[in-house]
Structures are given as structure tokens and as C-alpha cells.
Amino acid sequence: MTQPRQFVIEADGGSRGNPGPAGYGAVVIDPVTGETLAEAAEYIGVATNNVAEYKGLIAGLKAAKALVPDASAEGALRVRVRMDSKLVVEQMSGRWKIKHPDMKPLAAEAARILPASAVTYEWIPREKNKHADRLANEAMDAGKRGKQWEPSASTAALDLPPVSGPPGDAAAGAAKARAAMSTSRETAATPQVGWGAADLGAPATFVLLRHGETALTPEKRFSGSGGSDPELSAAGRHQAERVAESLAARGTIQEIISSPLRRCRETAATVGARLGLPVQIEDGLRETDFGAWEGLTFAEVRDRYGPDLDAWLASTRTPPTGGGESFAEVARRVSATRDRLTTRHAGRTVLLVTHVTPIKTLARLALGAPPESLFRMELSAASLSAVAYYADGNASLRLLNDTSHLR
């Protein structure tokens, strides 16, 4: 069965006067890589903020639809719309009635673009919607000059926070990519082996397994290294058995290394018993310490620690309430663990049984993606991902969030 394409749409609109000169902006993003796939912006003349916001939503949905030829077919596309307009998000989600006559036709137009089952809506704070906001302001600035927005003049995609992972990860990856392309052009007439002028040998391949479900997983509660250390639920034990069967059928795993937390050790033990391999423990693979948020849902954290949560979502350098770990701290820990393990296991295929944040961090660093990409990856319980690490330091993301063995 073909998996649906998945996109994130961020949209915004503004009016300088409300009503006044207005414009909108929308961006379509790959949720795995964080890559900008399409942008749209337009000056729409005199209008209200809400009209401009709806226009931005419509433009984003149309841009996403244009990227997938059969987008109208059921199951072909899944879109998550993120906006800082509570009104639009709540109305399009069906929780608020649409009373204003200017809004009704716009909401109806937005609803017709894609099947209702293909679109979900999420409110985000304004500071998390900077790309679309910048596009909307560029459109209004162009309108002020009597022109329309031009993609070639846009700087919206540049308004991203700096990479907060280990120093040099993203920069070094980009430099290596440019150097590799330069080398390939200069030596195109010379037969090459592997990635460069010399055979780099077999990579260290890390197959990344997120542990099976616990009682906290279906409730989407924060469950890190500072909480109750829950065991696998019955569903989680079944997931571990299924992934063990799948890995045994593939026959490629040579070693198993696990986070010290119980849910990972139990998952790893199930796989190890099936493969006939011992389980090694690596503390660097533990989950983030979520401090005072451990055991709470996102909504509960929002209710009790709203300002702290906003700050955490806005910067990977901000720790959770109560002395937990920031994502930047986790990135440093995980990258040090990665470097140690790739050196120790060069040329081997190793199963790392770990958690959401370490796996997303390894994927992000392999891609040289910005920190906010952590919030744009889906990672299911008992899913498999894979990254290969070569002798020259380059990494190749081979797989992300495969759950085919659970179906």
C-alpha cells in the first residue's frame, strides 16, 4: 500500500489598519527534512486580518495540492496546517461557528481544496510562524510600492534560528557536500569508488528502534529519563515481538545496544532473545529529562507552565521547568555517543534501542537540518529508522519511522 505524502503548511496574513492594506504568506514544508517545498504570498488590497489569514490558508492548501498529482484521492496526501490565528484554526477544525459573512465563503473554499480527512489544524505561537509572517509582510511591502510579491526577492526562508547542536555539525556537513560536488566536477572523467576518490569501506550502520508502548504512550504524556521509568504495556510487548520477527527475517543486525531505561531494555531483550545476541547498555541513549513535565500531557503542561512551554518551543536551548534537559544539551550528549559508537563499530550494523529525542536528533544531525526539524518528524512506538556513517564523517539517512512490521 502506497503511503500518503505528508506536508506541513504554515500560513499567516496581516492587515496594516484592520481593515487596511493587507497581504498573506504561506509555506509548504517537508516534515522530515524541514525543506521548503513551496511558497506563496500576495498583496490583496484593503482587507481585515482574518480575511488575509484565510487567504493565506487557501494559498497554502492549493500549493500543497499542486505538489501531488492525485492529491484529491483519499489517502494520497496528509497535511498539517500550523497557524497563529486561533480563529482560523478553531473554525476550520469545526470547534467554532463561522458567523462573519466575509469568513464563510473563504472557509468553504478552503474546505473544498482537499478531502477533510487529509487536513488537520494546529495553533502555534506567533514566534513559531516567522516564515509565513515574513512572507505576508513582504507582500504588504510590495503592495505599498504598487507591486506584487516576487519569490526571487524573498528572504523569508532565511529567518531561522541558528543550529544549536554540536558546533560544526551542520556547517561541516554543508562544507563536505560542497567539496564533494566540486571534486566530482573536477574528476568526472576518472572512475570513482564509493563516495570519493577512494573506497571509504563499509559504513557503521545504526538501525534505530524506538521502544514499544508504555501506559503513557497512547496518552501522549511526557516520558523522559527523569520520571517513573515505566515498563512496556501489553501492546508494547506485542510490538517488541513483531519488530523482533522482522529483524530476524532481515538477518543483518550484528550487535544490540540499549538505553538504560526500562522500556528500552525490555524491548531490546525481546529482540536479543530472538536474534541470539546480548544487549549492551549505553547511558548516552537515554531520553531527555523533562523535569517537572514528566508524566503530564502537553495540555497539562500548557495549563500549569504556559510561559515555560512557549520558551521551550521557541528555543532548543531552553530546558523544561524544574531543571530538565534542553534539546541542545541532548544534542551534545547524543552526538558524543554517536561519535564514540561509530568509531567502535565501524563497518558493522548495530541496533540502537532508544527514544524519540535521540532518534530525531541523530536524523537531524545526519541531514544537517535546523533544530526546529525536531518538531517536524513523526516517530511512532516500535518504529525503525536507520543512519549510515562513513569513514570521512558523512552520514546518510536511510530510513525514518518505518512501521510496516506492525501492520
How far apart, in whole angstroms, are the C-alpha atoms of residue 46 and residue 44? 7
How far apart, in whole angstroms, are the C-alpha atoms of residue 8 and residue 281? 36
Cell readout for 190 is: 576518472
How far apart, in whole angstroms, are the C-alpha atoms of residue 88 and residue 267? 42
Phi-psi region of 321 (alpha: psi -120 to 50; beta: other; left: phi over 0): beta
- At 304, is the secondary structure helix, strand, or coil? helix
Question: Of the candidates 124, 158, 121, 123, which has an alpha carbon nearest to the alpha carbon of residue 138?
Answer: 158
- At 43, is the secondary structure helix, strand, or coil? strand
Contact 53, 42 (CB under 8 A): no
318 class by beta-carbon count within 10 Å (0-12 exposed, 13-18 middle, 19+ buried): middle
How far apart, in whole angstroms, are the C-alpha atoms of residue 162 and residue 371? 8
List % helix, strand, coil for the chain (3-state, nearest 5): 45, 20, 35
Question: Of the candidates 176, 208, 161, which has an alpha carbon nearest to the alpha carbon of residue 369?
Answer: 161
How far apart, in whole angstroms, are the C-alpha atoms of residue 205 and residue 346? 8
Q: Which residue has the cell 519488530?
A: 243
Identify whether 19 is preceded by a cis peptide bond (ω within 30 of 0): yes
- Cβ neighbours for 371, distance < 8 A, ≥ 6 positions apart: 161, 163, 164, 165, 316, 327, 328, 331, 364
Residues assigned a catalytic role: 211, 287
Contact 195, 392 (CB under 8 A): yes
